[in-house]
Amino acid sequence: MEEKTYQKWNIITGWVVFAISLITYTLTLEPTVSFWDCGEYISTAVKLEVGHPPGAPLFQMLGAFFAMFSFSASNVAYMVNFMSGLASAFTILFMFWSLTNLIKRIAIKNNVLDLNKTIAIIGSAAVGSLTYTFSDSFWFSAVEAEVYAMSSFLMALLFWLGLKWEKSFGQPRNNRWLILISLIIGLSFGVHILSLLVIPSLVFLYLNYYYEKYTVKTFIIANAIAIGTLAFIFKFLFPYTLLFFSASELFFINNLGLPFNTGTIIAGIVIIIGFYFGLKHTRKNNMYLGNTALLSIMFVMIGFSCWLMLPIRANANTIINENNPSSARELLAYYNREQYGDANIFYDTYYSEKYNREPATDANGETIMEDVKPKYEKDEKSGKYIIVNDYKNAQQKTGDQHKGFIPRMVVPGLEQNYKMIAGIPKNSKERPTMAQNLKYMAEYQFGYMYFRYLFWNFVGKQNDIQGNMDPLNGNWITGINAIDRFFIGPQTNLPSDVINNKGRNIYFGIPFILGIIGLIYQYSKDKRNFYNLLLFFAFTGFAIIFYTNPKPFEPRERDYAVVGSFYIFAMWVGFGVYAIIDKINEYKNNKLVAISVTSICLLISPVLMASENWDDHDRSNRYTAYFNAKAYLDSCDENAILFTIGDNDTFPLWYLQEVEKYRTDIKIINSSLLATDWYIDQMKRKAYESDPIPSQLTHKQYRHGSLDVAYHIDQVDDRWNIDDFMMWISSSDKRTYIEVTDGKFEKFYPTNKLRLTVNKETVLANGTVKAKDADSIVDYMDMDVDDRGLTKNRILMLDILANNNWKHPIYFTGGANADEEYIWLKDYLQLDGMAYKLVPIKTKNEYGILGMGRIDSDDLYEKVKDWNFGHHGKDFYLDVESRKNSISYRNTISRLVEALINEGKFDKAEEILDLSFNKMPIEEYQQYGVCLGFPEQYYLINKPEKARIAADLLIKTFQEHLTYYSQFNSYDLNYLFSEVENQFKMYQTVAADVNKYDKDTDYKDMVEKSFLEHIKLFEEIFQ
């Protein structure tokens, strides 16, 4: 076959694979905002605002471009999501062409390319590419507005360009490919640094050309060069470029007295001049390598210039302006992620330090003090940058007793999780040994947090529930009972909710077997290119795990971070298909072999994966994050202040306000971000229709290094009015400070007992309390704040409370049980839909977080009736986050029904119960613990038939789970004891309600009998 014909079919098939991928992702695209960071990314993209470090300016600018094609504000999220789908489809396109390139090298080593080999090459590449198309982790990122889809596209593009560059070696002007690669590397910084991890493989493409044959020495040198190039770009070129801008800015402003930003401009001019004369000199003197290197670095810098968007938009004071990187120094801190603190992956402190915090001492036994990073701020008055924190000798240097090399177990709050995994005695206060440290790294980080994800994508997945190293959730499965029983326990008598979990995807390990065959085949036939892929695989898998140091247990699964390594494994799947064809051709060389094997492999790998994965990756009708956010905002009165806590109760709300202009009168305050001065500054500005936060603290009082903590020193027995407390906190009087170390002073407060006075006329006039509840209003609200100390965010929450004077209604999204998240006023809450309103009516909480707050049944009834539960009347995949968030819906409805029953409003109670039961079916939403009230509440409104339906459904679920657990051996049952106990407790609750309320003796006897029968299944562990 002619090369021209081959290339034609190669191009055509590539675009066919691209079309299949694009159609798949378009059909399964989420139509609106998703949970986690997507709301933030969409919001910051559409208005070119500043998101969280280390930023994604290129992603945001491209997102703004795609948003231009939306026909309404409600369609914006879809278009930004579509950008991810399109980027993912292009990833598959370049993957296909890279695969055909690499497989062809093996196929035509004898320089013969016939029809059989063409079919084999293209067919194998199609199988590998489509396997990745339908893989679990990649598909997940392809249908939402996250950076990982575009990062994968840039990795695929860079590798494909690298292969084009390699092909041009020895040809005139071949380094034009290198220049393009350099530009893309620079642009990658505008999406995610994951894309940079392809660099070592790109370097090896050149080194393979340079070294005809490797010795041990040259191989070591080659690896050092490859890794050194990555380190140079990631850890030297960009950070030190930003450092140069920062130093120049400080010098020209602080030393020479020039206007702000002059130093930045001069630094930019110096770099441009440096490149100009450097290129001129190397060209003039025929310094080929030097000229190429300078051109490459220059184009990397040109690509990196997309970061200029961040300071430009930060200086515009956009509504979302995280970290406010408005100057060169602040941009450097933004790049270095200084907000998240320092962590040394090679030598750091173990969690055990908390048991022995001995500082480092010098030869004289004196404590060694060390500096912290200085924090510069613009001082408009002096026209200089000033250091606002006391950074000299600011902290004690810690001793080395609890430090170690490559420390993995470093977070004190996760001590027991570390010990469980590493096999450390529960009460041990010793520093973990290196063996225990490595065991944790091998078993949890590489085993559980990497290989488990790899097997998810190519072997099979147990369900969509996050695992905690337990046999019930989040594991990989093959679908072959003998294998699965060995690894995760019995696979017979599985509960219905396990079998019907849409995240239960079974591939029988076929794609994995093909990948292993391909890996071995490529190694045997083409060791050099095998090593290129192996480097790619290792850096996008193992290196990420090592660098990020995963903790037990993360708030969500992190498989999306290592998806680049799955890209390579899917390429080996393609090699595996070709290996099978090649082996069969040794016996019978016929084009039917290539066609047959390709067709079979298409069916048993990508088609099987597509059929298994479609239902849990189809987000086309899912609006749960959108309507969940809308319910939060609709719970609030006009001009309210709403305190949020985490990502999922913050970012979707940002999206609604920023993109759809919905309820822009509400001031959303994330209590975690309130610990930073830049966020407080932003909260003190008006945003759309929402007023600045009421606050008496000035920037100077809360800026970085000031009021980071206030300690409680008990000196006063009386309860202070909160206004007096804030006067104390805001005072500059030296008597309000305490010396914590030599010459270092911090704010303290002499009492933790505070009182907020209530103005009854005001709360009645502005509707905080309705007239019917006037007699319940208290004269004051007492709170006992933390008796150890207050961090900056808690001080600001008290500041807002003290200065609000009941002008703005104050709400909390809930979701946390900590008293400080409610400003220590949990007894003064009212459940108004999905949020809790602060009201001057005392309601003692006796049932924990699910029982907080009083209820106004009339108001809450109207709000609940307006809820949309995440869909537009169409079936959709209810993912695990949507199911988790349904707990708030269920609990609110249950609380409302309870109130309606107590008020004798049985018709309304039945209406709301039916709404919950029918709109959120128990078998789909699960979360059975908040469904236990259904039978009792139906009984209480004299609807025994409905009560029995709910009871039967719950009992059936508990019976299935208990029957399944009874198959485990005694050792595993001890591990699962809490789960078994929980199932029995829920079962007992429903059975007790049936026994108490049902008048059908036969039904009661049946329920009791079945309960006792299931107890007998576990006689051994209950004895």
Alpha-carbon distances of 234 from 192, 193, 333, 341, 584, rounded to whole Å: 12, 8, 15, 18, 46
Kindly write down the DSSP assignment for every residue of 332-344, as one continuous string.
HHHHTTGGG----
pLDDT of residue 391: 84
pLDDT of residue 844: 84
Residue 514's contacts (CB-CB under 8 Å, 6 or more residues apart) are 127, 131, 572, 573, 576, 577, 601, 605
Beta bridge partners of 838: 829
Q: Among residues 90, 106, 214, which one has the least CA distance to residue 159? A: 90
pLDDT band at 372 (very low <50, low <70, confident <90, very high): confident
Task: Report residue 860 as tokens.
Answer: 């809450």
d(CA 329, CA 79): 35
Q: Which tops the pLDDT comparison, 848 or 308?
A: 308
- Say if strands 369-370 and 835-838 run parallel, antiparallel, or are unpaired: unpaired
Residue 71 has pLDDT above 70, yes or no: yes
Q: How many CA atoms lie within 13 A of 637 on its CB side?
A: 20
For residue 490, whether the previous peptide bond is cis, meaning omega lies within 30 degrees of 0, is no
Contact (Cβ atoms closer than 8 angstroms) between residue 103 and residue 574: yes
Alpha-carbon distances of 512 from 15, 134, 550, 880, rounded to whole Å: 26, 14, 25, 26
Condensed to tens digits (0 to 9), the pLDDT of residues 428-460 reads: 999 999 999 999 999 999 999 999 999 999 999
pLDDT of residue 318: 96
The pair phi, psi for residue 328, each rounded to 5°, is -60, -40
Contact (Cβ atoms closer than 8 angstroms) between residue 529 and residue 642: no
Other CB atoms within 10 Å distance of the CB of residue 519 = 22
d(CA 909, CA 893): 9
d(CA 182, CA 180): 5
d(CA 49, CA 317): 9
Quick one: DSSP state of residue 791? E
Contact (Cβ atoms closer than 8 angstroms) between residue 271 and residue 259: no
Beta bridge partners of 836: 812, 831
Q: Which tops the pLDDT comparison, 119 or 847?
A: 119
Task: Report residue 370 as tokens.
Answer: 């060390």
The pair phi, psi for residue 148, each rounded to 5°, is -70, -30
Q: How many CA atoms lie within 13 A of 905 on its CB side?
A: 14
Q: Among residues 631, 618, 616, which one has the least CA distance to residue 663? A: 631
Residue tagged 């016996």 (tokens): 587
The torsion of the CA quartet 64, 51, 544, 145, rounded to 10 degrees, works out to -40
pLDDT band at 21 (very low <50, low <70, confident <90, very high): very high
**Three-point CA angle 140, 141, 142, nearest 5°:** 95
Q: Which tops the pLDDT comparison, 391 or 738?
A: 738
pLDDT band at 390 (very low <50, low <70, confident <90, very high): confident
Residue 82 buriedness (CB in 10 A; 0-12 / 13-18 / 19+) = buried
Residue 905's contacts (CB-CB under 8 Å, 6 or more residues apart) are 857
Query: Which residue type is seen at 556?
Result: R
- Average pLDDT in the chain: 93
**Three-point CA angle 982, 985, 991, nearest 5°:** 140
Quick one: DSSP state of residue 444? I
Q: What percent of the chain has a predicted confidence (pLDDT) above 70?
A: 99
- Per the rule left: phi > 0, alpha: psi between -120 and 50, beta: everything else, 1015 is alpha
Residue 321 has pLDDT above 80, yes or no: yes
Condensed to tens digits (0 to 9), the pLDDT of residues 527-543 reads: 999 999 999 999 999 99
Condensed to tens digits (0 to 9), the pLDDT of residues 853-889 reads: 999 999 999 999 999 887 655 678 899 999 999 999 9
d(CA 298, CA 292): 10
Residue 426 has pLDDT above 70, yes or no: yes
pLDDT band at 831 (very low <50, low <70, confident <90, very high): very high
d(CA 901, CA 906): 6
pLDDT of residue 742: 75
- Per the rule left: phi > 0, alpha: psi between -120 and 50, beta: everything else, 805 is left
pTM of the model: 0.94
pLDDT of residue 211: 86
Condensed to tens digits (0 to 9), the pLDDT of residues 684-729 reads: 999 999 999 999 999 999 999 899 999 999 999 899 999 999 999 9
For helices 563-585 and 510-525, give the axis angle rounded to 10 degrees.
70
Other CB atoms within 10 Å distance of the CB of residue 151 = 27
d(CA 28, CA 956): 33
- How far out from the chain centre does Cα 873 lie? 29
The pLDDT of 1013-1020, averaged and rounded, is 88
H or E, element range at 478: none
Per residue, the 3-state secondary structure of 686-738, as one string, reads CECCECCCCCCCCHHHHCCCCCCEEEECCCCCCCEEHHHHHHHHHCCCHHHEE
The pLDDT of 599-611, averaged and rounded, is 97
Q: Where are the beta strands (DSSP E) in 369-527?
A: 369-370, 376-379, 384-387, 395-396, 403-405, 460-461, 505-506
Contact (Cβ atoms closer than 8 angstroms) between residue 720 and residue 404: no
Residue 366 has pLDDT above 90, yes or no: no
d(CA 639, CA 658): 16
The pLDDT of 578-592, averaged and rounded, is 89
pLDDT band at 1022 (very low <50, low <70, confident <90, very high): low
How many residues does this entry show for the chain? 1023
pLDDT of residue 845: 79
pLDDT of residue 743: 77
Residue 265 has pLDDT above 70, yes or no: yes
pLDDT of residue 1023: 61
**Three-point CA angle 643, 645, 647, nearest 5°:** 125
Alpha-carbon distances of 866 from 634, 740, 863, rounded to whole Å: 9, 54, 5
Quick one: DSSP state of residue 468? S
Residue tagged 């907020």 (tokens): 756
Other CB atoms within 10 Å distance of the CB of residue 109 = 10
Residue tagged 């602040």 (tokens): 330
Q: Among residues 586, 613, 514, 496, which one has the least CA distance to residue 956? A: 496
d(CA 17, CA 9): 12
Per residue, the 3-state secondary structure of 182-232, as one string, reads HHHHHHHCCCCHHHHHHHHHHHHHHHHHHCCCCCHHHHHHHHHHHHHHHHH
CA-only gyration radius of the chain, Å: 31
